[in-house]
Structure 1
Amino acid sequence: MKTFLKFLELEYNLTWKPSVLGAVFGAFFVLHLCSLGGSKAVVSTNYNQTYILEALAGSLYLPIFLVVIISYIYSKSIADCISSGLMKSLLSHPIKRDYVLSAKVVLNFLVLLTACFLPIFYAKIVFSVDSRAVTSVIVTFVLKLLSYSSLATLLCLIMREPLLSFAGTLFSLYIVESITDFFRALRLWELANIVNLNRLALSFYGAFLSRAPLRVLIESGALYTLVLYISFSVICLILSLIVFRRMDLD
């Protein structure tokens, strides 16, 4: 555990700086608040549903923006560590590659979560939204960021060149976001609902209000969506470990 914590500290010192974090957090915060700017003008019989719809519809591409920016920083950090010989020097000690990669993945994901939580909690204060609605949005964003960042990590390790991984991550996440519209165009409504990650928030909120939450999740298809994206994230992380173990550090 101490070794892993040391790697977290090392990863922070190598990759992140207060100015970089401030720029990433500030950009995401401003964009998110702009997307929520029209929420007060929305008339709805269920204010909490309005918040969820506005938060997700307005923030549809914000996780992509954040993951792509952070994946570029992440990819550049790996490239610099390899070119400078630092990565090879670290692994010359009796240290597993899994520790090095895990520290990078964990810290980068924590940065994503922090940037995500700040504007959501701010929106709760501004709009006085039910905590269950806020929790529904947070769970949805966590799952979305987990799946996106897992895919971005895999692409960064495969491509290695920062600009190439930046473009590849942006294109791949755009495809993921477009899958729902693709199935809708083919009139495959059930598949479109299952792959639509953004609809999870309303399903979670409905489950929180129900006496039979599991039944609500199954009937809405949200449970299948949950399993699909968690499995996708796990597969991407496992493949990332395999790629990193076999990576040539010369």
Structure 2
Amino acid sequence: FRHAAAVVRPVTPEGLGAALRERPALAYFVPTARNPDGAIMPVAGRRRLAALAAEHDVPLVDDEVCAELCFSGPAPPPLAAFGRGEQVITVGSMSKLVWGGLRVGWIRAAAPLVSRLSRLRAVHDLGGEVVSQLAAAALLRRLDEVRGPRVRALAARHDHLCAELRARLPSWAFEPAGGGQTIWVRVPRGEVDAFAQVALRHGVAVPPGRSFDPLGGHADRMRLHFLLPADELSRAVNNLALAWAAFDGTGRAAARHTLIV
């Protein structure tokens, strides 16, 4: 967005009406299994969002890349179910549901916009890789077969990570995700930018919250994913707990005591 000279402004649900009244060039939302916290927007919020976008004539992008990864039943209806066809643009991808290397996605929008985007792509891109597109077309016909095991595995790993964090790092705060691949964690003290350096020395790389805020906020947050098997998640949380003890100061006395003994 910034490469296109856009001024990016995050919007809270409470400030949505005021933001859309200013007629931005585009509104971009991830209402289902949102990155980084895995939250799912309720149906009432989707209806209100689509209505406000239509009222103020603001194009609305619905990013559904993680929409197939809801842990409790099927995903809620997309924003297009509540708005005019020419107003809502839906984007999706196979990369989260199937495999990160399958970089095949799509856009659902009004026919004139799709034609325009196709022409623009022809200028900048000679075409997608054929084998991946053939694989995606075959997998789309077996989506239910693919989705079930994938969602069950992610939900189990999510629950395992949450349990490990509650047991080893009870002072950290987070809300369980409704879907997706990540949770959004808040530390009680300090900034995650500094803690991330300590965590890296303990063998765990964590992205600080500032990376997910266009205004550089959320300094006390970090994103943790649950893509790894349970034993690796347990090892990662153990190392995070050691790193937090060192960062927070609670590990210093224990370390000195160990050296004396």
What TM-score, normalized to structure 2? Answer: 0.25
Q: Which has the higher contact order (CA 8 A, sep 6+)?
A: 1
More strand by share: 2
What TM-score, normalized to structure 1? Answer: 0.26
More helix by share: 1
Question: Which has the greater radius of gyration?
Answer: 2
